[in-house]
Structure 1
């Protein structure tokens, strides 16, 4: 029986399975940046590494602040590589993506509320040290019994240890826990590695990778919408 729930944040709760690379790329296209997808992909990867390594994002930063800083890093990379964009696009892209996240989180709230009413719920996220502020602004912090954030615990997905910390916070056995996430390699594989059940929100990845969806790392269920989670957990418990 499933007695506890571990949920990924980015790409799961805030985009309903869409990779943030896809969300940001759509905004670049909407505002006619003129950047190719290959150029954006390189800028996106650079920005993610930069924010993970450097203390650019502070605990007080909201999700909009995070997006603005993220896009600033991308624009700097593009400028350094010969593709300078108008500075005013930074705020426009950040707002577009933040509005998308706000609406997606609004739809996710009733699902989180239902889960939290039935199970202890832990958030497990690769984030920048400000996830508590993000959850507070989006008004969903009360649904989580505890937060396991990579910048705080100094362990990042796909290292299974970060999910092990979540299981330990629940005080349950791994087989009594289910992990919900959008990334096969960063959520499903580490979840199955430590013995948890796993629900994969398989909507849209970003990089083309070949992964083995079968064998020991096969998800216990695949879904296309976060709203399906409570029903799937009920099915797994039958």
Structure 2
């Protein structure tokens, strides 16, 4: 599109108020782009943001949006630290919620995107998922000074039941409900693709989300987990579309963005905390789901 407008990278960078190296990295797929910079580029090229996504360079027009579930559409309420604390107290552990949350996040970050992406792609059923989380929670509990093997297994099972599959400790993000309503009215096809237990379907239904989606794909129900591109293609095929016509939105680079891109979809990461790390990923950057309106 830049070349069709007769602009060099330097000219486009100057008009958009961006650095030339950023334009170069963007065109090579080495940089992600925030919505603000999309506006700058669109203005510099005298086009709309929608034109950026409907051009031959960027593929087909977006006809469907696929969503992740946890931390994309729904969040823990109360916080993870409080929910975990309730379970831990039943096993004699009294830990401040902020400490629990901090240790959880530190272990997650220590795994890194590559490890999480590789390991999650191998999970095929609920047993495999529970074993992965058992290994994770053992590390977390060891940091809290708890090493009882049987106790770790019980805590892991209870966390799966009381946290991940319990609609009573989750809330739908306000921007999630709003964007789902808007997209539904516009006739955009919608799907939900999530790594979770089969009982996750009940969580989705009880939270009033089921009615928005043309299809729902849960990893344990199909025997495939994100970031395996096959789970994305199940949803895409059910919608009767091509991968290039689909935008996937999720909060995890390791499972959501990696998998969506491997499946051939456009990908956007949602980051309501404005973290510098997520701004550097090679995908569209969103800090509010309502920004999706500018991409359709």
TM-score by length of 1: 0.63
Aligned to 1:137: 206
1:114 maps to 182
CA distance in 1, matches of 2:279, 2:197: 29
Paired with 2:263 and 2:127, the residues of 1 have a C-alpha distance of 27
**Runs (5+) with no aligned partner, structure 1:** 57-69
- Identify the residue that residue 232 of structure 2 maps to in structure 1: 163
Matched residue count: 195
1:9 is the counterpart of 2:69? yes
Structure 1 residue corresponding to 2:81, chosen from 25, 36, 39: 25
The residue that corresponds to 2:285 in the other structure is 222
Q: Deviation per CA, 1:113-167: give whole Å up to 9, x if none.
A: 1122221111101010022211111111100011111001100011111111111
1:52 maps to 2:118: no
1:88-103 mapped onto 2 (5 Å cutoff): 101-102=170-171
1:178 deviates by 0.6
Are residue 174 (structure 1) and residue 250 (structure 2) matched?
A: no
1:139–1:161: structure 2 CA closer, same or farther, 3 Å change rule? same
Note if 1:198 corresponds to 2:267.
yes
Contact 1:182 1:203 in 2 (8 A): no
Taking only aligned residues, the RMSD between alpha carbons, in angstroms, comes to 4.3
Q: Deviations over 1:168-201 (max 9, x none)?
A: 1111111111101111121112111222111110
Q: 1:212 to 1:192 in 2, by over 3 A?
A: farther
- CA distance in 2 between counterparts of 1:225 and 1:211 reads 14
Aligned-partner Cα distance in 1 for 2:259–2:107:
27
Secondary structure in 2 matching 1:151:
helix
Matches for 1:139-154 after TM superposition, within 5 Å: 139-154=208-223
Q: State the alpha-carbon separation in 1 of the partners of residues 263 and 74 from structure 2.
A: 25
**2:295 maps to which residue?**
233
Q: In the alignment, which residue of structure 2 is the partner of 1:81? A: 147
Map of 1:60 onto structure 2: none
TM-score, scaled to structure 2: 0.52
How far apart, CA to CA, are the structure 2 residues paired with 1:110 and 1:211? 23
Say which of 185, 194, 206 aligns to 2:254: 185
Deviations 1:52-99 (A, max 9, x none): 31798xxxxxxxxxxxxx99x969x84961598xx9xx89x85xx966
SS at match of 1:134: helix
User: What runs of 5+ residues in structure 2 fail to find an aligned partner?
Assistant: 1-60, 112-119
Q: Secondary structure of 2:197's partner?
A: coil
